[in-house]
Amino acid sequence: MRIGYACLTKGIPYTDFKGVTSKKATPERLNEVTGHNLNTLGNILRYNAEDGLNMFRLSSDLIPFGSSPVNGTKWWEVFKPQFQELGGLMRDNDMRISMHPGQYTVLNSPDGDVVNRAIDDLVYHNLVLDSLQLDGRAKIIIHIGGVYGDKNSAIRRFKENYRKLPEGVKGRLIIENDERLYNIEEVLEIGTTLKIPVVFDNLHHQVKVGDGKDHMWIREAAKTWKEEDGIQKIHYSQQDPRKNLGAHSETIDVGQLLEYIEENIHHDLDIMLEVKDKNLSAKKAINAVIKTGKIENLEGEWSRYKYNVLERSPEGYQRIRGLLKDKDSYPVEEFYSLVDKAIYRTSPTQGTVVNGIQHVWGYFKDVATEKEKNRFRSDLDRFREGRLSLQAVKNSLWRLNEKYRDPYLMRSYYFHI
C-alpha cells in the first residue's frame, strides 16, 4: 500500500513553486519560472524518496500557462534533460505519479469552447507525464463536470467528448465521484461503459451519499482497474469539524485512518490523502500502517516536530519525551495524538514561544559572530515588545541555519510550519 499527498510540500525548505502573470509572461520569464519549478520538483522528489513517500500528485501549475496560448515556448523540448532526470528519479524510487486538472477542465459542458479548452488542458497534462517518460500507470484524474439542467444529457456529452480525446489522454484518464453532482454509483456507470478506471473519494461520498457502504463501492471501483492501469487507488480525507461538510481537515487523525482501513479496505490498494498539511499527514499515515513499526520511526519524526511542540506546549513536549523512552514500544497513535494536540489545538503564549526561540538559538550561540548575537538579542526584544513577528524571528534564525548548516535543525519543521 502506497500513501501519497498532493502537489505542495509543507515544512521542507526549497520546495516553493513560482507563478507568473499573463502580463509578464515573456518567453524568458516563462522559461525562468519553468526552470525554477522543475528544480523545486526535484527537491520535493528527493525529499519524498528519502522519507519513503512514493506516491505524489504533480501540480497542474508546474508549467505556467501550460495549456494556454499565453505560453508559446516549447517547454517540453527546452527542458527535456530535466524532465528525463526527474522521470528517472520517479522510476528509480518506484513513485506513483498523478495529476488532477482543476475545476474548469470540464468535458461535458454544452459550450464547445469550454470543451475545447478542457481537451487542450488534458493534452497538456498528458504531455507533462509523457515528458517524464512515465507509462500509463501515471494517471490524470477528473470529475464528470456539471449537470446544466439535464443530467442525462450532461452524461451523454461526457461520453461523446471522451471519445474525441487523443488515445494517449484516454490511456491516462481516470474519474472520481464528487460531493455535489455525481455520486459514486453514477460515476461507476460511466466508467464501466467507457472502460475508464474509477477513483472512490470517501469524503465526497459522505457529502453526496449513494446507497451502500464505502467498502462496497471500493470493491466495485476495483473492477474498473486493469493491469495496465496499475493498482487501484482511492482518495481519502477527513472532515474538518470546524467547517462546512466536505471541508478537508488540517491534518489526518491516525486513529480515524486506522479504523477506516480496518472497516473498508480489504485488498491491496493505494491511498491518496487530500489534507491541508500534505506530506506531514502522509508521513504519519505511513508510520501508522507499518506492520513492523519501530521506535526509530517516531524518533525521526520527533526530531522534526520537537520545537514546534515546545513553542506551544511544554507539557506535551515532556509527555512525548517520556513516551519515547521505551525503546521496545511503538506508541504511534499516542505520539501523533500528542503532536496534533500541541500543534493544532493549543494556543502558544509569548512565554512558550520565547522558550522555543531560545532553545533553537542554543545551536548558534557558540558559533555566531558578535554581530549575529546582537541581531538575535534585538530581534528577541522587539518580538517581546510586539514590534516584530514570530515568523520574522524564525526567518532570521533560518538564515543562520543556512550559514552554519546544523544537520539536526536542517530537518526541523520549526522554521517552516
CA distance 33 to 36: 5
Show Cβ contacts of residue 370 under 8 Å, excluding neighbours closer than 6 positions: none
For residues 158-169, one letter each, b for 16 or more C-beta atoms within 10 angstroms of the residue's C-beta and e for the rest, the string is: beebbeebeeeb
pLDDT band at 245 (very low <50, low <70, confident <90, very high): confident
400 class by beta-carbon count within 10 Å (0-12 exposed, 13-18 middle, 19+ buried): buried
Helix or strand run (H / E) with residue 260: helix 254-264
* In the chain, where the domains are located: 3-289, 295-410
Residue 175, pLDDT score:
98
Q: What is the mean pLDDT of residues 86-101?
A: 97
Are 289 and 1 a contacting pair, CB within 8 Å?
Answer: yes
CA distance 162 to 206: 27
Residue 292, pLDDT score:
86
CA distance 175 to 310: 43
Are 146 and 106 a contacting pair, CB within 8 Å?
Answer: yes
Report the predicted TM-score, pTM, of the whole model to 2 decimal places.
0.93
Q: What is the mean pLDDT of residues 12-20?
A: 96
Q: Which pLDDT tens digit goes with each residue over 27-55?
A: 999 999 999 999 999 999 999 999 999 99
Query: For 61-160, where are the E strands, in sequence order?
Result: 96-99, 139-142
Res 101 pLDDT > 90: yes
| CA-to-CA separations, 239 to 33, 141, 245, 248, 249, in angstroms, rounded | 35, 21, 7, 5, 5
Residue 291, pLDDT score:
82
Residue 210, pLDDT score:
63
Phi, psi for 163 (deg, rounded to 5) = -65, -15
Residues paired with 140 in a beta bridge: 99, 173
CA distance 169 to 359: 53
Question: What would the CATH number be for the domain defined by 3-289?
Answer: 3.20.20.150
